[in-house]
């Protein structure tokens, strides 16, 4: 893949440094494996839901943390003393760490687990001071 030069955009797009860095880093970073599979659903303009298939994980073995603009979901399988002898093993039993880059003002509002699916609800709450406002022109 070729490198993209964003320097001409820096002259016209003020404050988008983080976005350009995100695009540059994602192009240069090797892609994560597909484990565990997940969906990202947009419920409405300001509400999202991430659903991850975490079969074999208990609530105690999952960790969800948010650090600034990064949501980190990790799972640690505790190895049992009795190891079964598999004829075929199609269910992955491995630790994982999945990171999601969050936009400004997006926070985790709730997390729940149901039928082997981890649901993480996100909400974007833009402060009133940052929202668009009309500015009167003085005469």
Q: Is residue 6 scored above 70 in pLDDT?
A: no
**Which runs of consecutive H residues, i.e. helices, occur in the chain?**
7-10, 17-28
E strands within 54-130?
Answer: 62-67, 70-75, 96-101, 106-114, 117-124
Other CB atoms within 10 Å distance of the CB of residue 118: 21
Q: Would you place residue 133 in the very low, low, confident or very high pLDDT band (cuts 50, 70, 90)?
A: confident
Q: Is residue 89 scored above 60 in pLDDT?
A: yes
Q: Please report, rounded to a whole number, the percentage of residues in the chain having pLDDT higher than 70.
A: 76
CATH 2.60.40.790 fits domain 37-130: yes
Give the mean pLDDT of 29-43: 81
Structure-block tokens of residue 83: 């190891």
Please tell me the predicted confidence (pLDDT) of residue 13.
Answer: 63
Write down the residue that tokens 């991430």 correspond to: 50
- What span, in angstroms and rounded, lies between the C-alpha atoms of 35 and 37? 5
Give the mean pLDDT of 20-27: 67
Terminus-to-terminus CA distance in the chain, angstroms?
A: 55
């Amino acid at each position: 893949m070729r490198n993209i030069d964003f320097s001409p955009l820096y002259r016209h797009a003020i404050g988008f440094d983080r976005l350009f860095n995100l695009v540059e880093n994602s192009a240069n970073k090797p892609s994560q494996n597909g484990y565990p599979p997940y969906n990202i659903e947009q419920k409405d303009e300001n509400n999202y839901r991430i659903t991850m298939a975490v079969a074999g994980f208990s609530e105690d073995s999952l960790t969800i943390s948010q650090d600034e603009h990064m949501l980190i979901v990790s799972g640690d399988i505790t190895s049992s003393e009795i190891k079964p002898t598999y004829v075929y093993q199609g269910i992955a039993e491995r630790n994982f760490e999945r990171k999601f880059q969050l936009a400004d003002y997006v926070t985790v509002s709730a997390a729940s687990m149901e039928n082997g699916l981890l649901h993480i609800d996100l909400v974007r709450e833009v402060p009133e001071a940052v929202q668009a406002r009309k500015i009167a022109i003085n005469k």
